[in-house]
Structure 1
Amino acid sequence: MNKQRQEKMAFAVLTVLMLIVVVPTLLIIGFIFVKGIGAINWGFLTEMPRKGMTEGGIFPAIVGTLYLVIGTIAFALPLGIGSAIYLTEYAKHGRLYRFIRLSILNLAGVPSVVYGLFGLGLFVLFLGFGSSILAGALTLGCLILPITITSSEEALKSVPRSYREASLALGATKWQTIYKVVLPHAMPGILTGAILGIGRAAGETAPILLTVAAFFLPRLPKSLFDQAMALPYHLYIISTQVPNMPEEVKYGTALVLLGIVSIFFAIANIVRFKFRKLSNL
């Protein structure tokens, strides 16, 4: 009877903790939706800003955000997965390995403004990319790289050792084992880390402020070396620097940013679900 009571108490405590996290999140999303839905229309989503962003739409900021997120994924995901494969499957567990692991964990806690200064010094000034989409995407890629590596490592470690041994026993090489056996089973966990990284990259302001974001740029970027508007920075500017900006425009911009992040989340979850189905076959 005591065990049943303890189990019920533990379940009640976990339920309360879950509600403490979920309910405020839903309230915030609902508040933004109610306050911002009035601003959402075709013109707001597809027109160029006018008169110092007091009129028109946010189309350049939407396109700039999409470019940055796609560029970040293209840089961070292959490099993060490759690094995790090396650390998990090939690296010897000595002092150097422990130092690298500790460095990755420490980098995950570095403030985003520090990554922005790093991107400004390396990509914008030293490599000569200038204030551009390329510099911003590489900076955001460095920002989410520790998350990607750590989550990919844990996903690779979760694949049973027996899978590797069975593949090697059948005559497969180590790389064939990793590519055809380990990665398909680890991919759902890897994509979970990618989802977290996408969410952080899409909402960051400090790194793009120093490497790519333009205050007012009523045109679309033509190359990776162009500046671009981005929704997080655009939202910051209209909320703090533009006087008499309607409240519904501010919340509408925030709602669009949430929508873009949700779309990327949905795509990643669909891909993760398909990989999970394949790994269970």
Structure 2
Amino acid sequence: MDVAWLVVALAGAGLVAGLLAGLFGIGGGAILVPVFYQVFGLIGIDEAIRMHLSVGTSLAIIVPTSIRSFLSHKAKGAVDMELLRTYIIAVPTGVLLATLVFASISSEGLRIVFAAIAVLVGIRLVVNRSNWQLGDELPKGIKRFGVGALIGFLSTLMGIGGGVLNNTFMTLFNRPIHQAVATSSGVGVLISVPGFVGSIWAGWGAEGLPFLSTGYVNWLAVALIIPVTLLVAPVGVKIAHKLEKRQLEIGFGIFMFIVAGRFILSVLQG
């Protein structure tokens, strides 16, 4: 594999991911994983490990960004620390279970999981209604533990920081979106740190990994993507401020449908 082409392709991925992250206001794996999947395909990464590598590398990138985001939100008092404390065991439990599945699940299985969640998220964004609520108070006890574990489990298999799922959970129970976003930054830490370590373990010794990879984490991608996305994201933000909130919701919903369609098509084509 030509390392120069890998660098060029990953830099291009950073440009796309940064622009979309700034435009849609979400910078995690919901954007990075499908972009990585395309780029790793262009440079000839085997289909059998391409999705695993995309998920693991995405989780590695989310580690520093989620920690920085969480500390910033916490300093402003926007994080629901009570909810986050109840997640401390629940979310990593889900991540641990997902890591065990991640080590054995096929590439097709990972793509189906991502596509299914992407469709559900897309539907909620495109057909969103302000009166879509399940209650006024968040569930407690074993129910909350179960939700936290599920968020950790699905987010790890998707390579995302949990923001999409936790935001949905909190807003469905009448929590302000700003509090949901702030709290989700802490959820991202609980998911990405053990998920990143698990990705290295799950892919240890795997064949066909690209240059500078440890397990299912490609360090070249990590080193290139973070600065490039930070550089380009403000451009997407400027575009976003020229659009209405509803337009952004529909735009991101359509993006999720396109990603889901791409993954489903790749599975059907074998």
Bigger radius of gyration among the two: 1
Normalising by structure 1, what TM-score? 0.29
Higher RCO (C-alpha 8 Å, min separation 6): 2
